[in-house]
Structure 1
Amino acid sequence: MSRARIQIAKPDIVRYFDELPSRVLKPREVYAILSEQRGFWRLAQNTTAERFVEFLLKHSKLKQYVFRFPQREEKCYVWDHAPLLAILLGLKKDLHFSHYTAMRAHGLTEQSPKSIYLTDERTTQVESSRETEISQAAIDTAFQKPARSSNNWVEHEDKKIFLLNGADTGHLGVIAEMMTDESGAEVKGRLTSIERTLIDITVRPVYAGGVYEVAKAYRMAKDRVSINKLVAMLQKLRFLYPYHQAVGYYLQRADYKSSQIDLVRRLSMEYDFYLAHEMKDTRYDQSWRLHVPSGF
């Protein structure tokens, strides 16, 4: 690589990156910039993408972030600096924040979770398909076992960052909205709506601090959630298990209007169900055909 040419072009390169709308860049975006601007910057053809990045990392404000998730390493580049939430969204296309992280963004928890939850929608999972057979025995067996919890996480600073594989829902209920991180920095984020968040944490309370935190989220969402939207989402998601019975129980426990609760009661209740996995001491709520923790 001709150091002279890239050194001469450095002020133009820096100016270009300074004016980019986003400070977080995927590797392919940096490579595309080199391809598009190579002629204008008069860089030699042997200035490969790897050498270009190496030069910027050493001689400019470009930084590389690498997150070594067990399933696959993900990385991105940051020009100067950016909040962690923005960096994480830049790791892959169409990621969104979910579960406890979405709860916090919507003000549905008083906690400051030490885990951050990102979801990457993949191909449809068995659990979300009504084509799969279900039986009472199968439900009983499944919920006597511990809840599945992803091991696809890394530690970063004082946070545990989960990259979850989500079912392919067509990004149902995923919205773009300003979020504030713990430092107070504002980030234009992609996250689940209040309605989708309540559904997700009902399905996976393990990613939301447990059933008591989920119950509190339903109470805190009371004046802002649309139960019509929530029920419509439940029907589109077509879960194998009757999670709507758990949703209805949470709504009733949080004293929602009877007209709102009735929207969920209209859905069929063919099976006994469970509020969470591996509950030891339980009671049975007949009206929702639901096993819940004793005293809950």
Structure 2
Amino acid sequence: MKSNSKKLAKKNEHIVKSMISDFNYNVINQKEIIELLYSVRKVYGFTNYRLVDFIEYIEDICNVEEVSSVNERMSVIPLYAKPKADIYDLAAASSRSSYFSFYTAITIHGLTLQLPKHIYMTNERNSYIKYDNTLKQEAIDTAFNKKPRQTTNIRTIQNYKLHLINGQSNNRLGVVPFRNCYFVTDVERTILDSVARPFYSGGVTQVLEAIINAKNVIDVDKLVYYYNQMHYIYPYHQALGFYLEKAGYENKHLFLFLK
């Protein structure tokens, strides 16, 4: 770069620093880094910056660290983390439309003492796919005897596995803000999701532990409302009632699910 451009860049360094510090998230993804570059190019001294120049600059001046996200095809997707970024920031940067769910939601809500190395995020489909919910017992038995389908969209970030799950559209029922800029399923939705798909929540033992630990915070009426809104094909209410019974919930709560 020319000497004059370097001087201008030094003079306007504070502008770029502010752009990075004021950015909504603690981690910048590929799409966002390019959008930031377009904005930075409007600042005198940075008009000729290439992407590689910009990344090198923010790593040096703003203490931004490049972190690799590796997908199932072993393709490396770079993320750009500010100093205070953690795994939740890194995971959320991988899918802005997704929300934290299953075992990760259990962890966020403090319903487990475990420190899982697997992060789960759900991205709802745009529209609800209606299925025939008049199943015969034989079909139910067959379905439950099969190995459950699990997402193959898994990324490795640092020493964590990020599972990106495509979910049925439920109009983000029970999805609440987390850290002001992210989202997570609330306790009731988390319990329902975990009962239906325990393999995303550490297994049945961990699901039971979460339900036991949720005893003083869960709203059972809300749980019933969510269940009715989610139009499950399979009779998960029976499994839910079983968990509630094992967790020592009152009989007045059990009859709603053991019918």
Same fold (TM over 0.5): yes
Q: Is the 8 A contact 1:100 1:116 kept in 2?
A: yes
Q: Given the superposition, is the C-alpha separation of residues 105 and 172 from structure 1 closer, same or farther in structure 2, using an over 3 Å criterion?
A: same
Pairwise CA distance, 1:33 = 3.1
Q: How many residues align?
A: 254
1: CA distance between counterparts of 2:119 and 2:98?
Answer: 13
Q: Deviations over 1:101-132 (max 9, x none)?
A: 11112122222222221222235676xx3445
Identity rate, percent: 29
The answer to whether the 8 Å contact 1:198/1:218 transfers is: yes
Aligned match for 1:18, one of 7, 18, 21: 21
Corresponding letter in the other structure for 1:144: N
Measure how far apart 1:202 and its partner are: 0.3
Shift of 1:51: 4.3
1:69 is matched with which residue?
Answer: 71
Which of 106, 111, 115 lines up with 1:103 in the alignment?
A: 106
TM-score normalised by the chain length of structure 1? 0.74
Q: How does 1:1-296 map to 2 (within 5 A)?
A: 4-5=4-5, 8-10=8-10, 11-12=13-14, 13-44=16-47, 46-48=48-50, 50-56=51-57, 59-60=60-61, 61-70=63-72, 75-123=78-126, 129-131=130-132, 133-178=134-179, 189-265=182-258
Unmatched 5+ stretches in structure 2: none
In structure 2, distance between residues paired with 1:82 and 1:3: 34
Q: Check conservation: 1:57, 1:64, Cα contact below 8 A.
A: no
Distance 2:157 2:41 in 1: 35
Question: Could you say what the CA RMSD is over the residues aligned between the two structures, in angstroms?
Answer: 2.8
CA 1:251–1:58: 2 relative to 1, 3 Å: closer
Partners of 1:25 and 1:78 within 8 A in 2: yes
Q: Distance in 1 between matches of 2:85 and 2:59?
A: 19
Compare the two structures and name the one with the higher strand fraction: 1
Check 1:260–1:200 CA distance in 2 against 1; reply closer, same or farther (3 A cut): same
The answer to which of 16-25 and 134-143 deviates more is 16-25
Instruction: Give the Cα separation in 2 of the matches to 1:119 and 1:197.
Output: 11
| Aligned mates of 1:19, 1:77 — CA distance in 2 | 14
Instruction: Please report the TM-score for the alignment, with normalisation by the length of structure 2.
Output: 0.83
Distance in structure 1 (CA, Å) of the matches to 2:196 and 2:28:
33
> Would the aligned equivalents of 1:201 and 1:214 in 2 still touch at CA under 8 Å?
yes
Letter paired with 1:145:
K
